[in-house]
Amino acid sequence: MYQTVFKETWLHLARSSKNRLTIGLVFLAILFYSFILLPQQESFDTIDYQQLEINRNANRGLMEEARENGNYQVNGFTGQSAFSQAKNNYDYQNALLESIQTGNAERYMGIISTYLPEFHTDERLEKYLNSSLYPEKDLTYDEINFHNRIRSYQEEQVPLTFSIIQEKTSLQQLYLFLLELGPTILVILALFIAADVFIIGVKKRTQHIGVPLSWGRYLFVQSLATLSFVFLFFLAAAGFFFLINGLLYGFGSRAFQVPQFIYSEEYVTDMSVYRLMKMSTFFLQSLPFVAILIYLFIRLTALFSLLFRQEVVVFLAGIFTFLFERLYYSRTTRQILGMDVSYFPQTYFDFGKVITGEKNFLLNTGTITPEKGLISLIVTVLVVELLLVAATRWRTRQKFIG
């Protein structure tokens, strides 16, 4: 009987026009992202090519003007003549342009390690001033992490490419996905796929009312079938992205290292808090979070289905639960109702930031750890399971279907 219910649920999921459309749109979105969006994305080191070219030409004009006027006098403030200063900037900017044009990433990194155009540093600072609550802190964090990451490639003698520097290879993109919007996208997709699964009985009363399985077990088997369907879909989408993006920008390597922040109250002066972890370690630590999080929200969908019996309301309730943290989140929120935020499961929905320590950096605390996150989410799953037991006794199969 278990196999029958499992197969029936799977067939419902596979035949659903809603799910087929969702799957098709996800694969189209992957193609659109890899071919259209990703080439246009700028990274931390990206220098405006057109502005760089304009500045180079301007410095060439200054050199020619200084040469014609014989202006070789040293400026008391800069310690350089107008000619030598323009020539210095021109040489660096010309070298940067050539390295970009020829795709010489090694040379490019060598140049920007000692020289950055003034317009680039100004634009970067302005960006942080406009978008960050703590612009100098965040800028320093990103600068150190960027240089640590590049140095790790050089120490491992990884042949540098612009795709690697800008984190556009497949593995780097999957890492960034899990670090940033990935958890939100995965949970929303899982909720959308599962929203109508547990409502089947309402629509097919005669087919489900006589199933020789307890109500709780029946919903649990449906949950497992949905979980397997969702995971297979995610695995297929990840594999498709890995292949397509890898052919375009490279596949990357599990040996690549990514930034890891170890909180210390002396982080301003203690540079040892900025560390690195292997990308393979990050993925391994992410797997249990993905599994628990998706399972948790599928079971929540089952609970909401018993309560509301309407798939749109079930989906919206799941979205609200997942996004609830956004209602109170800020960079200064370290307690909720007198309790540390590390005790609340929603703190760990952005598990990528928890694993890398970025969550501690953002909130300026050291209490948020992956271990505490797993415990918090597991306890939450147990609470949801108890609520489901109570809900199945309150709303029996007959009441639910009738």
Tell me how far apart the alpha carbons of residues 383 and 385 are, in angstroms, rounded to a whole number: 5
Which of 55-69, 139-153, 154-168, 239-253 has the weakest average pLDDT? Answer: 55-69
pLDDT computed for residue 4 by the predictor:
86
Which of 60-64, 199-203, 290-294 has the weakest average pLDDT? Answer: 199-203
Which pLDDT tens digit goes with each residue over 374-388? 999 999 999 999 999
pLDDT computed for residue 379 by the predictor:
97
pLDDT tier, 209 (very low <50, low <70, confident <90, very high otherwise): low
List the domain boundaries for the chain. Answer: 2-41+168-401, 49-163
Distances from the Cα of 328 to the Cα of 51, 97, 135, 322, 336, angstroms:
40, 46, 21, 13, 9
Mean pLDDT of 113-139: 91
Tell me how far apart the alpha carbons of residues 8 and 283 are, in angstroms, rounded to a whole number: 33
Tell me how far apart the alpha carbons of residues 178 and 176 are, in angstroms, rounded to a whole number: 5
Render 225-255 in DSSP notation, one character per residue.
Answer: HHHHHHHHHHHHHHHHHHHHHHHHH----TT
H helices of 156-204, in order, are 162-165, 170-179, 182-194, 200-203
Those residues whose C-beta lies under 8 Å from the C-beta of residue 150, and which sit 6 or more positions away, are 109, 160, 165
What are the two backbone dihedrals, phi and then psi, of residue 365, each rounded to the nearest 5 degrees? -145, 160
Render 297-315 in DSSP notation, one character per residue.
Answer: HHHHHHHHHHHH--HHHHH
- What is the average pLDDT value for the chain, to the nearest integer? 90
Which two tokens mark 352?
Answer: 């990528």
Those residues whose C-beta lies under 8 Å from the C-beta of residue 324, and which sit 6 or more positions away, are 346
* Secondary structure (3-state) at 214: coil
pLDDT tier, 337 (very low <50, low <70, confident <90, very high otherwise): confident
Check the CA dihedral 271-273-275-279 and report its sign. negative
* Secondary structure (3-state) at 258: strand
pLDDT computed for residue 73 by the predictor:
57
pLDDT tier, 1 (very low <50, low <70, confident <90, very high otherwise): confident
The model carries a pTM of 0.92
Under 8 Å between Cβ of 388 and 299: yes
Mean pLDDT of 301-320: 94
**Does pLDDT of 78 surpass 60?**
no
pLDDT tier, 399 (very low <50, low <70, confident <90, very high otherwise): confident
Tell me how far apart the alpha carbons of residues 302 and 402 are, in angstroms, rounded to a whole number: 17
In DSSP terms, 335 is beta-bridged to 340
Tell me, what DSSP letter sits at residue 37? Answer: I
pLDDT computed for residue 54 by the predictor:
92
Report the share of the chain in percent with pLDDT over 90: 70
**Does pLDDT of 212 surpass 80?**
no
**Among 185, 153, 141, residue whose Cα is nearest residue 274:** 141
pLDDT tier, 61 (very low <50, low <70, confident <90, very high otherwise): confident
Q: Considering only the C-alpha atoms of the chain, give the largest distance between any 2 of them, rounded to a whole number of Å.
A: 99
Check the CA dihedral 177-33-191-323 and report its sign. positive
pLDDT computed for residue 5 by the predictor:
87
pLDDT computed for residue 69 by the predictor:
66
Which two tokens mark 310?
Answer: 């309407």
* Secondary structure (3-state) at 402: coil
Mean pLDDT of 34-41: 94
**Among 294, 324, 300, residue whose Cα is nearest residue 391:** 300
pLDDT tier, 206 (very low <50, low <70, confident <90, very high otherwise): very low
pLDDT computed for residue 70 by the predictor:
63
